[in-house]
Amino acid sequence: MIKAELNRVAVIVKDVEAAAKEFEEMFGITFYGPYRDDHVGVDVALPRHGGFEMMSPNRPDDGVMATQKLAEKGEGITGIAMRVDDLDEMKAHLAKFGLEPDLEFSHGKMREMIFYASEKTHGVEIAINEFPDANGCAIEVARDMGYDPR
């Protein structure tokens, strides 16, 4: 049986460092990063806890269209990320519904596929992650970007 659980909410901001600092001060949410992810084209701060991922584009052709979303809608929630045990199984399952990932990548042991917002996803961008630890996405990206969270 396919099962996915909500892991985090993605928020696009103009300045990831300032936004992460403000959320830490306002709500006590702490982050790994921000890190420069040149593969996707965003600077990203990932949650140590708190469930928010902050990102801002670091080039106009970023892989998650953050530049265009900021220009069209401004800052705000862009999508959700869900964790699964088997990314390949989920990919095959979603293909039965006509969904093919728009972007796939990995950081260490974390694998991710992203489905851009569409009619099939009811206007929500959805990231599907597979990772071993409870907060493995953030930990694996942090490790991949040179930080050892131990």
Q: How far apart are CA 116 and CA 128, in angstroms?
A: 11
User: 139 or 85: which carries more pLDDT confidence?
Assistant: 85
pLDDT in tens, 24-74: 999 898 998 899 999 889 999 988 877 889 999 999 999 889 999 999 999
Give pLDDT, residue 110: 83
**Could you tell me which of 65, 67, 75, 70 has the C-alpha nearest to residue 117?**
65
Instruction: Give the list of residues 6+ apart from residue 126 with CB closer than 8 angstroms, or none.
Output: 79, 80, 81, 82, 114, 115
* pLDDT for res 80: 93
pTM for this prediction:
0.75
Written as six digits, the tokens of 95 are 């293909």
Residue 18 exposure: Cα atoms within 13 Å on the Cβ side: 6
User: Is the pLDDT reported for residue 103 higher than 60?
Assistant: yes
Nearest to 23 by CA among 43, 48, 6: 48
Q: What is the pLDDT of residue 144?
A: 64
Q: Which helix (H) or strand (E) holds 92?
A: helix 87-95
Residue 149's pLDDT is what?
A: 56
pLDDT at 48: 85
**What average pLDDT does the segment 78-82 reach?**
91
In whole angstroms, how far apart are CA 106 and each of 27, 96, 110, 131? 29, 23, 5, 10
Question: Average pLDDT, stretch 116-143?
Answer: 79
Whether the pLDDT of residue 125 is over 60: the answer is: yes
Q: Is the pLDDT of residue 106 over 70?
A: yes
Tokens standing for residue 41: 């084209």
Instruction: Return mean pLDDT, the chain.
Output: 88
